[in-house]
Amino acid sequence: MPDAARPPRHVLILGGTTEARRLAAALAPEPAGAPGSATVPEPAPRVTTSLAGRVAAPRLPAGEVRIGGFGGPEGLARWLRAHAVDALIDATHPFADTISHNAALAAATAHVPLLVLRRPGWVPGPGDDWHQVTSLDEAAAALPALGNRVFLTTGRMGLAHFAHLTDLWFLVRSVDAPEPPHPPRMTTLLGRGPFTLEGERALLREHRIDVLVTKDSGAAATAPKLTAAREAGVPVVVVRRPPLPEGVPVATDPDEAAQWLRRVFSEASAR
């Protein structure tokens, strides 16, 4: 089929992150992307971003948007085929391991090229008192020896792992209000990043926080809490990221993802 007659390439982005929104803004025909954004493959592809629907009022990306699950890897593979998807980019949260593994299975089944877009993780620096663990259960087990007033920033979905810690007090920050089960001694702070360093310093001070719990999201918008904890001498329990699916290429920013798309589309046109 001549290029002039071929419909635009279709890219499905599994989104919900800042990087996913940046990539969609750069790829979608309108808007064309902000200055300094990722380089757009030519011609502009059709872009669909899929959101899980766990946040009540998500930040919507450019291009087409679908909300909700696919029904496992088989459902996602069917969707890829039915909507003639030419490339799949997993730009979900670093801890969304279920959808990442489903994406790998679905892409292999539907024979669709797959890329994982993941921002780099955080790295401890001089003065940091980090206690790295592999799960929320390990994080909960570490807390009694580290402090009594916990700033918990791991999201509302995992609070059940801390519900048995009845002697500790928790300040929980999340985008939406959490539901039980959760720790009995808990105050909820609704908020969405980016957060400022001065704001995080004040929060630790006002609530007399003596231990912080976070997942290694690697997000710049939420990194100031780590600086504030280091300055205050507050230990930090850091939950490591789950492993990525084996054999899937990884980009660390939207520019790399756009370059990968260009290569994939160029190779497809040459065949």
CATH number at residue 233: 3.40.50.720
φ, ψ for residue 177, nearest 5 deg: -65, 135
Q: In the chain, what percentage of residues exceed pLDDT 70?
A: 93
Do you know the residue count of the chain? 271
One domain, residues 217 and 162? yes
Q: Supply the pTM of this predicted model.
A: 0.87
Position 31 scores a pLDDT of 44
The pLDDT of residue 55 is 74
> Residue 2's pLDDT is what?
45
* Overall domain count for the chain: 2
Question: Are residue 15 and residue 80 in the same domain, yes or no?
Answer: yes
Residues 213 and 249 in one domain: no
pLDDT at 21: 96
Q: Answer yes or no: is pLDDT of 35 > 70.
A: no
Confidence band, pLDDT 50/70/90 cuts, at residue 41: low
83 in a domain, yes or no? yes
- Residue 257 pLDDT > 50: yes
Mean pLDDT score across all residues of the chain = 92
Average pLDDT over residues 18-35: 76
In a shared domain, residues 147 and 235: yes
pLDDT of residue 68: 93
Residue pLDDT, tens place only, 145-154: 999 999 999 9
pLDDT of residue 54: 76
Residues 235 and 139 in one domain: yes
Residues 229-237, mean pLDDT to the nearest whole number: 98
pLDDT(157) > 60:
yes
Report the pLDDT value the prediction gives residue 45, as an integer from 0 to 100: 93
Residue 164 has pLDDT above 70, yes or no: yes
Range of the domain at 210: 130-239
pLDDT greater than 90 at residue 222:
no
Q: Tell me, what's the pLDDT at 32?
A: 41
Per-position DSSP letters for 148-213, written without gaps between them: SEEEE-S-GGGGGGGTT-TTSEEEEEESS---SS--SSEEEEE--S---HHHHHHHHHHTT--EEE
10 and 32 within one domain: yes
Please indicate, yes or no, if residue 125 is contained in any of the structural domains: no
Please give the backbone phi and psi of residue 13, each rounded to the nearest 5 degrees, phi first.
Answer: -105, 120
